[in-house]
Amino acid sequence: MMNEIWWQWLGLWFSAFSSATILPGTSDVVLVAMIHQHPQWWGWAWLIATIGNSMGGVVSYYMGRLLPHKHRAPDKMITWIYKYGYWALLMSWVPFIGDGLAIAAGWLRLNVFLSALMLTIGKFARYGVLIFGTLQVIA
């Protein structure tokens, strides 16, 4: 039983991590399934999903940082970051757009700590809405 739960938590982390990179991921589905199966552990699920997704966002940031300047990050993402600064990274939870924002932040050489903080806050809020919505549905 304990071994099975360990693999579920690891799967949630990996799904959240890969969802924040250019790899395909389905963290929403995995998180909702975990909450449905273990509603009493919603706090741990929130923490693990947020950590995994934030770590994936930082990987995307460094992918952008390693991108040579002759190759550009997505223009729309660069415009958003110039316009809104670090606050734009709060939208990093949005599918497809979020990956581009993290890559653009790295490409623009924004401060990694402030970028990671804003990425984490955005992802924390997203998973919070998803978890509490799921808990309301299954209650």
What domain range is 109 assigned to?
2-138
Over residues 67-79, the pLDDT tens digits come to 887 777 677 778 8
Question: In the 3-class helix/strand/coil scheme, how is the chain assigned residue by residue?
Answer: CHHHHHHHHHHHHHHHHHHCCCCCCCHHHHHHHHHHHCHHHHHHHHHHHHHHHHHHHHHHHHHHHHCCCCCCCCHHHHHHHHHHHHHHHHHHHCCCHHHHHHHHHHHCCCCHHHHHHHHHHHHHHHHHHHHHHHHHHHC
Q: For residue 96, is pLDDT > 90?
A: no
Please report which confidence band the pLDDT of residue 12 belongs to, taking 50, 70 and 90 as the band edges.
very high
The mean pLDDT value for 18-35 works out to 88
- One-letter amino acid at 45 equals A
Q: What is the mean pLDDT of residues 74-95?
A: 86
Angle between helices 42-66 and 97-107 (to 10 degrees): 50
Residue 65: pLDDT band with limits 50, 70, 90: very high
Amino acid 60: pLDDT: 94
* pTM score of the predicted model: 0.90
- State the total domains in the chain: 1
The answer for residues whose C-beta is within 8 angstroms of residue 128's C-beta and 6 or more apart is 46
Q: How confident is the model at residue 55 (pLDDT cuts 50, 70, 90)?
A: very high
* Per-residue pLDDT at 69: 78
Please write the tens of the pLDDT for every residue from 107-123.
999 999 999 999 999 99
